[in-house]
Structure 1
Amino acid sequence: MKTFQIILSKWVSALLPVFLVLLPGCGFKDIDKRFFVVTLGIDKPTSSNKLFKVSVKLAIPSPQERFGSNQSIIVTEEANSVTEAVRIIKSKVDKELDFGYTKAFVFGESLLNEDGNLYEIMDWVNRRRDIQLTAWMAMGKPDALSVLQAAPRSERLPSNMLFLSFGQSGTETAYIVSEYLFDFFSRLKERGKDPILPIIERREDDQVSINRLALFNKQKHVATLSPYETKIFNSFYEQIGKVDIPIKYQNNYVTIDANTIRTKYSIQNADSAKPVVHLTIKILGLLEESRMPVKLSELQQIEKVAEQELQLRVLALFKKLQKAGVDPIGIGLRYRASHRTDQGEWEQWQEKYSRLDFQVYAQVKLMGTGVIE
Structure 2
Amino acid sequence: MIRAIIALGICSLLLLIAGCAFKDIDNRSFVFAIGIDKSNKEDMPYRVTLKVALPIQKIDPGKDNTQIFSQDSETISGAVRLIAAKLDKELDFGQTKIYMLGEGLAYESIKESLDWLSRKRDFQMEGYLALGRPSAESVLKLKPKSERYPGNALILSFGESGSQKALGLTEYLFDFYRRTTELGMDPYLPVIEVGSEVYIMNKAALLDKEKVKLILNPDESLLFMELLENAPPYNFRSKMGDTPIEIVAQKFKRHYSIETNNQKAPVIHVKIKIKGITEETSMPIYNDNWSQLERQIEEEEIPKYNKLLIKLQKNNIDPLGFGLLYRATHYKRTQDWEDWQSIYPNVKFEVDMKFSLRGTGLIK
Q: Same fold (TM over 0.5)?
A: yes
Task: Please state if 1:167 is matched with 2:154.
Answer: no
- The within-5 A match list for 1:202-351 is 202-203=194-195, 205-269=196-260, 272-351=263-342
Letter in 1 for 2:160: Q
What is the alpha-carbon distance in structure 2 between the residues aligned to residue 57 and residue 270 of structure 1?
54
Shift of 1:315: 1.0
Shift of 1:275: 1.2
Shift of 1:49: 1.6
What is the alpha-carbon distance in structure 2 between the residues aligned to residue 70 and residue 284 of structure 1?
44
Shift of 1:344: 3.3
- The within-5 A match list for 1:49-128 is 49-114=43-108, 117-128=109-120
What is the alpha-carbon distance in structure 2 between the residues aligned to residue 25 and residue 220 of structure 1?
46
Q: Is the 8 A contact 1:296 1:368 kept in 2?
A: no
Correspondence for 1:201 among 187, 190, 193: 193
Three-state SS of the structure 1 residue aligned to 2:158 is helix
- Partner of residue 156, structure 1: 148
Shift of 1:251: 2.9
Shift of 1:25: 6.8
Q: Is the 8 A contact 2:168 2:202 kept in 1?
A: yes
TM-score, structure 1 as length reference: 0.90
1:265-298 CA-to-partner distances (Å, cap 9, x unmatched) read 1111266222111111111110111243323333
Letter in 2 for 1:349: W
Shift of 1:109: 0.4
Q: Is the 8 A contact 1:151 1:158 kept in 2?
A: no
User: After alignment, is 25-34 or 220-229 more displaced?
Assistant: 25-34
Q: Is the 8 A contact 2:253 2:273 kept in 1?
A: yes
Three-state SS of the structure 2 residue aligned to 1:39 is strand
Three-state SS of the structure 2 residue aligned to 1:296 is coil
Q: 1:342 to 1:153 in 2, by over 3 A?
A: closer
Unaligned regions of 5+ residues in structure 2, if any? 1-6
Q: Is the 8 A contact 1:62 1:69 kept in 2?
A: no
- Partner of residue 368, structure 1: 359
Three-state SS of the structure 1 residue aligned to 2:350 is strand
Q: Is the 8 A contact 1:264 1:281 kept in 2?
A: yes
Which aligned segments of 4 or more residues in structure 1 are displaced greater than 4 angstroms? none
- Partner of residue 12, structure 1: none
Q: Is the 8 A contact 2:256 2:271 kept in 1?
A: yes
Task: Please state if 1:359 is matched with 2:342.
Answer: no
Task: Please state if 1:186 is matched with 2:178.
Answer: yes
Q: Is the 8 A contact 1:148 1:159 kept in 2?
A: no
Q: Is the 8 A contact 1:262 1:282 kept in 2?
A: yes
TM-score, structure 2 as length reference: 0.92
What is the alpha-carbon distance in structure 2 between the residues aligned to residue 178 and residue 111 of structure 1?
20
Superposed CA RMSD in Å reads 2.0
Identity %: 40
Count of aligned pairs: 354
What is the alpha-carbon distance in structure 2 between the residues aligned to residue 25 and residue 227 of structure 1?
56
What is the alpha-carbon distance in structure 2 between the residues aligned to residue 251 and residue 23 of structure 1?
83
Q: 1:63 to 1:224 in 2, by over 3 A?
A: same
Three-state SS of the structure 2 residue aligned to 1:354 is helix
- Partner of residue 3, structure 2: none
What is the alpha-carbon distance in structure 1 between the residues aligned to residue 50 and residue 220 of structure 2?
32
Shift of 1:162: 1.7
What is the alpha-carbon distance in structure 1 between the residues aligned to residue 149 and residue 341 of structure 2?
46
